[in-house]
Structure 1
Amino acid sequence: MATFARSLCGVALVCAALSALAADRGAFLVQDGRPAGVIVLPTQPNAVERYAAQELSEHIAKATGVTIPVQNENALGGAAAATRIYLGATQAAQTAGLDGKKLPRETFTLRSSETALFIVGRDEAGDPLDRDTSAGTLFGVYEWLERELGVRWLWPGDLGTVVPRTREVALRAIDATVQPKLFQRHVRTGTGFTSGNPALGFTKKAAEDYAAAQAVFLRRHRMGRSEKFSYGHAFTDWWEKYGREHPEWFQLVNGKRGPEKPGARFAMCVSNPGLHAQIVKLWRDKGGAEKTNGRSFINAVENDIVGQCECDRCRAWDGPTPPDAMKYYAPNFKVYGSRFVSDRYARFALAIQQLAAKENPNVTVVGYVYFNYFQAPTSGVKLNEHILLGFCPSAGWYPRTDDEHEWYKRQWADWRKTGAQLFFRPNYFLDAYSMPFVFARQFADDFQNGARHGMVATDFDSLTGQWSIQGTSLYLLMRLHVTPDANPDALLADYFGGFGPAAAQVKAYFDYWEDYTMKHRRMITEVFYDRVAIRWRTWAKAPHRIFPPETFGPAEALLAQAAAAAATDRAARERVAFLQTGLAHAKLCAETASLLTLADPAATVERGKDKLTELLKFRRQHEREWFANLGHNAWVEDLSWKLANETKQPADYYP
């Protein structure tokens, strides 16, 4: 009897679960492989809404093989009885109480009814792919595709677009309003690198098409910004403009104001009240003091040089030098041995903010923490949220030792304790050239440390686009901008899942390279600390030293296993082949570098000619797979290798 009762209870639980599932699943968009719904646009849709409909329709078609019709609201006719997805500022959305104009920029609402789904966002006129165009409805489409269809974008182009197949798509109950957690999410595109040896890079049309594919990819990961502001080294032309009349605004070094020699870089005398007043005057002259609903920004980013003014006032603003100030800098690095000046730069930003706030309380001063003012202040200076500082480590490249990693994380936390707002502005993704240099999880920990301690925006310099060889690091860079608190291993599981039956083997492949990178930190450091090569600029002098020939064999074997596992799955097989292309390219680059590196006085054009020709033929064969940004590769190689005049020809003609 007890067994029978338990059986009845089990049946009841199953029935309840099925009823809940049925209630959660609304009307069908696609059923039994046939269209059962329509995408509805406003009567006069804007560019963002039209593009959102295109993206939604194309992804549903990839999932189901079915094309959902797109109709303007005034032309629905008989289609009105079908299941509907209303996009943007439709009349139906207004009737349902949804008005995108009342939402913050880049924000959207997803709301379902019995037979409809509304995706309504704050949209503006402009190019839907432009980071300054608020595209809330488009972002809402991407959110729905991820949540409901399991879509993932692994790298630019169709092959990197993972859309699970299904025969039906139903509207599930949802009511969510989503705003990006960072007001700016920016990874510099890396498409502007140019080389004096263009034959090393993309052919002209391929470069244009790669840039277009990458722009789509970046928008799918919600790159953009809800507040427009500009910043960068602010005073580069000031000596020419003001040096004769106001030398006191400029650094005092060895008793002399201004550049130490003609044309040299220079820092400012950041404690000088006249300098503060001039910065505020220029802001005022551009309308910065006018009251608006938004923030008004002042660019006060120091020039690209260590802070070195020796005047008494600047030195009086300095705090005590921490005992570990130079611990993680190489003795031949330009910061090493310089005066610790973080407190003067904190006070500099505060002085400008307080002066400008008398005219506009919504002013925000933008500065950097950089070079010898990177480590957190020690004097107890208190800032406020009207000071926005770009966290720009001038060292600290991955992989870091555990203690070094914690030191860098602590600098972020301690700057945040001053009360300033912070945005992440590193150069770390300029690293690694075309090599399998994988630091995915350490980067994720760094990023999430910032997110836990008040990060409000990002600006990464730059996206070098080595998609097939550094895929996991780049995927986390993208996904953490969308979901900064997500479990990195769960995000990577999505990436590996795109390889279907080869997921486990692909994970083993990337784990091999990440393990290699993390375990060889000392060797990597020694290669770059002796200045044989520079991390962001001349990596191609030394890839063969960091990845000698014997490191490639195990990786090739792992990908061969992945290819075997993916043999019956076309998409997975092609994605594994994509990784194999990147690995073959990395191996060729290392071999070519060993023959042409400028770090070897014996290098000659003739010695590397055959291997370089092989490399360039490989690039022409595979360039349209978007396995790498060949423009960036060419830029690094131009600065790293002994090259013949032939490589100065366009890639379309040579080899």
Structure 2
Amino acid sequence: MIRSTITLLVLSVCCRIGFAQATAFTAVDDGEARSRIVLGNRASKVAKDAALLLQQSIRDVSGVELEILSEEQFTSLETAQRRGFVIGDGALARSLGLDSSALEMEEFRLLSAQDLICFVGRSNARSPAEVWAVRHFTDEVLGIHTLWPGKIGTHIPRTDRIVVPIMEYRYRPLAYRRFRTWPKTPHPEVEQWLEAHQLSTRLYNRDGYKFGHAFTDWWERFSENPETRAYFAEAPDGKVQLRTPAKPEYAKLNVGNPAVRRQIIRDWKASAEQPPLIWNVCPNDSAGYDTSDASCALDTTNYPKPDIWSGKASMTARYVSFWKTLRSEMVAELADPAQKDQFRLTTYAYGAYREPPPPGTLGPGFVIQIVPTYDAYGRAMWEGWRQAGASELLCRPNWWHMGGSAPHLPLRDVFEYIAFIRARGMAGIDMDILLPHWATQGAYYYLLARTIERPDLTLEAILSEYTTAFGPAADEVERYLAYWEAFTKKAAYPFPAGGPVSQNPDGLYETLQRKHGYSLNPLRGSWEATPFLYTKEVLQPAVEILDRAAGKVAPGSIEAERVAFLREGLRLFWYRRELIRLKAPRLRTATETEDDFREAVRRWEQLRDQMQSRFGHVVDQQAIPDRL
């Protein structure tokens, strides 16, 4: 083994709270243990899991297994041997001034003192805070990084010497966070990747906020009754109807009708929880907004009714008016003044009502989940809703629906947007939707997970974590990511935010889609545009970069497997590009037929199966996307 040292200079701490000054210490030296892992005498099951994780991580890095001792066993050692890692509540942690009961839920803390480093956290059934504390150490000091799901996606540096620096770190994850996945129940390796980044497909939700289109069952409940049919939107011809008859869950409400508010209040009061202090009023999806005089009276601009119905007019003013009146009526039903202050309505800023209202017009008592863009418009949207006075703002991006399965990598733009909104009150993120395009978009997934998990890291630090895992090929992988990031900027896919929001009407995507008569909506158009955007001339420089990367890594090494993962992923994308082209008869050459399309599907599926066998469950399963 090549002798090396993992060490890191982090925040130095002179501990002046009643115990000796902290010192860095050597945990492993020359392949031998020089420290122990100590379980606090009040350690929880989570703390025990954290101890096992730390033991495994140090063994993976150094080949050395540290023994796990009780506090009694540890304190019985000679003073010179009392060096190591204290995990969980107990007498040792308390002597250092640490106790999980002093932390907020999901908060964790690392603190050095003497020749010890202590890990404590406030866990619950879903949130293993002590495990997160240990993962921070294995990430920051050992350099273990979980880049993508599966064995080759975890970077584990090797060393025979581990020096533990003086550390102090305290962190509480965002209150509301989730990465939705496709499929909805992902492979366990994907869930493990999420857990390694303090995320899940299941919602972490400390404050109990509820979002989601809130009235999807109303058409079924109320449309047949002549009295309650007036709850629903009128079309420009004055008739109550669905804009999309096959989608009753898209039904829009007549928000100018007071009976709608009364029905919402009846549903609220009938809830099992009495009274619910959080109530979801997110409008249903799609267009079909009400054109009745009652709702139009809430607008501050006199829009043409066809524009209202189709969602081309701003509906923000009417919905803000509706929400404010509704909230005041609901608060009036509460007798307790404290409950009146605590009561929150949750809703979206999305589609035709994404534009922020004037400053101060919303006021407290509202929690807004913004479906944003990540450009200057998205920043203005966030700042506008913040100045409108919402109690809290959450981020609900649809960005992973952009680009299909292409190497779509808006890395700097996304990083800078998240940093911008985090500095302006972001209370959570609900990301839609993590697709299995790890070989082409994995750096993007990793960047966003790390940006949420570690707001202290720079963009360069996160990308360095990713590229370092490729060893001697790191510089080529850095060039590869930069190549596709630059192309992503040129492509300029519109944002899916309740209809397409243009990023650049003169970008390649919009220019080519207009030229070929295809949709500008990226949900479908991202796939349709693939043959036009990703020509051989576009892919060839990327192929050459990865060829050079393959020449720099040792055959059979884990770095070679990682480079192969990217290369095969790009090849799979090209096969996908070809089958999309061949599916459209007008894009075929004069000699190509349906048989060529079927052969393209077979070839794609064969490579997909080979990749799944070789790299694990990080490869797309659908040859033909549902959107096509």
TM-score by length of 2: 0.82
Deviation of 1:275 (Å): 2.5
Paired AA for residue 102 in structure 2: K
Equivalent residue, structure 1, for 2:242: 259
**Which deviates further from its counterpart, 527-536 or 64-73?**
527-536
- Among candidates 583, 593, 598, match of residue 596 of structure 1: 583
1:637 paired with 2:625, answer yes
Q: Which position in structure 2 is the counterpart of 1:472?
A: 443
Which of 289, 299, 305 matches 1:308? 289
The alignment status of 1:32 with 2:30, answered yes or no, reads yes
1:459 maps to 430
Contact 2:411 2:447 in 1 (8 A): yes
The answer to whether structure 1 residue 213 and structure 2 residue 198 are counterparts is no
The residue matched to 2:151 in structure 1 has which SS? Answer: coil
Aligned to 2:558: 571
Aligned equivalent of 1:392: 371
SS at match of 1:119: strand
Q: Which amino acid aligns with 2:67?
A: P
1:177 aligns with 2:177: no
Check the 8 A contact 1:231/1:299 in 2, yes or no. yes
The worse-fitting range, judged by mean Cα deviation, of 312-321 and 297-306 is 312-321
Alignment correspondent of 1:357: 331
Q: Distance in 2 between matches of 1:512 and 1:32?
A: 42
With CA pairs under 8 Å and 6+ residues apart, which has the higher RCO, 1 or 2?
Answer: 1
8 A contact 1:451–1:485 mirrored in 2 = no
1:88 and 2:98 aligned: no
Counterpart of 2:182 in structure 1: which amino acid?
G
2:396 paired with 1:425: yes
State the shift of 1:47 in Å: 4.4
The alignment-based identity, stated in percent, is 26
Q: Secondary structure at the match of 1:118?
A: strand
Take 1:544 and 1:483, find their aligned partners in 2: how far apart are those partners? Answer: 37
Amino acid at match of 1:482: E
- C-alpha distance in 2 between matches for 1:356 and 1:289: 13
CA gap of 1:632–1:411, structure 2 versus 1, over 3 A, is farther
| Deviations, residues 196-217 of structure 1 (Å, cap 9, x unaligned) | xxxxxxxxxxxx8x72111111
Aligned residue number for residue 248 of structure 1: 230
1-structure distance, mates of 2:45, 2:427 = 28
After superposition, the Cα gap between the structure-2 partners of 1:94 and 1:605, relative to the gap in structure 1 and judged at 3 Å, is farther
Cα distance in structure 2, aligned partners of 1:464 and 1:143: 26
SS in 1 for 2:38: strand
* CA distance in structure 2 between the partners assigned to 1:592 and 1:371 by the alignment: 32
Secondary structure in structure 1 of the residue aligned to 2:523: coil
Corresponding residue of 2:180: 188
Judge conservation of contact 1:112–1:175 (CA < 8 Å) in 2: yes
Task: Say if 2:140 is the partner of 1:147.
Answer: yes
In the alignment, what sits opposite 2:532?
545
1:70: which partner in 2?
A: 68
1:438-517 counterparts in 2 under 5 A?
Answer: 438-484=409-455, 486-517=457-488
State the one-letter code of the partner of 2:451: L
Instruction: Specify the SS of the correspondent of 1:159.
Output: helix
Aligned partners of 1:225, 1:377: CA distance in 2, in Å?
27
Contact 1:36 1:83 in 2 (8 A): yes
- The offset of 1:604, in angstroms, is 5.0
Give SS of 2:346's match: strand
SS at match of 1:470: helix
Q: Which is worse superposed, 333-342 or 579-588? A: 333-342
Cα deviation, 1:488-542, whole Å, max 9, x if unaligned, reads 2332122222222222111111111121221233221244564358523574444
Task: Give the number of aligned pairs.
Answer: 574
Query: Which 10-residue stretch deviates more, 364-373 or 75-84?
Result: 75-84
Distance 1:483 1:629, change over 3 A: same
Give 1:118 deviation, angstroms.
Answer: 1.6
- 1:408 equivalenced with 2:384 (yes/no): no
> Does residue 106 of the first structure (1) align with residue 106 of the second (2)?
yes
Q: How much has 1:241 moved relative to structure 2?
A: 1.6
Matched AA of 1:580: R
Counterpart pick for 1:297 among 259, 263, 278:
278
Q: Give the equivalent residue in structure 2 for 1:272.
A: 257
1:371 maps onto 2:351 in alignment: yes
Match of 2:407 among 436, 440, 461: 436
How far residue 453 of structure 1 moved from its aligned partner, in angstroms, is 2.5
Q: Which residue of 2 aligns with 1:201?
A: none
Distance 1:430 1:105 in 2: 33
Structure 2 unmatched ranges of 5 or more: 1-11, 15-20, 493-506
Q: What secondary structure sits across from 1:222 in the alignment?
A: coil
Alpha-carbon spacing, 1:260–1:428, altered in 2? closer, same or farther (3 Å): closer
**Which digits, 9 at most, give the CA deviation of each residue in 1:314-346, with x for residues without a partner?**
222223489xx9xxxxxx999977322111112
Q: CA distance change for structure 1 residues 410 and 36 in 2, over 3 Å: closer, same or farther?
A: same
For 1:238-297, what per-residue CA distance to the aligned partner results, in whole angstroms no more than 9, with x for missing partners? 122233242333223332335357554321122433323332333333355559xxxx32
Q: Does 492-501 or 258-267 show the bigger shift?
A: 258-267
CA distance in 1, matches of 2:420, 2:453: 15
Answer yes or no: is the 8 Å Cα contact 2:40–2:87 preserved in 1: yes
In structure 1, C-alpha distance between the alignment counterparts of 2:559 and 2:308, rounded to whole Å: 47
Higher mean C-alpha displacement, 444-453 vs 460-469: 444-453
1:343 to 317, 321, 336: 317
Amino acid at match of 2:320: A
Change (3 A) 1:94 1:468: same
1:347–1:582 Cα change, 3 Å: same
Amino acid at match of 2:625: E
Cα-to-partner distance string for 1:117-141 (whole Å, 9 max, x where unaligned): 221111113xxxxxxx122111111
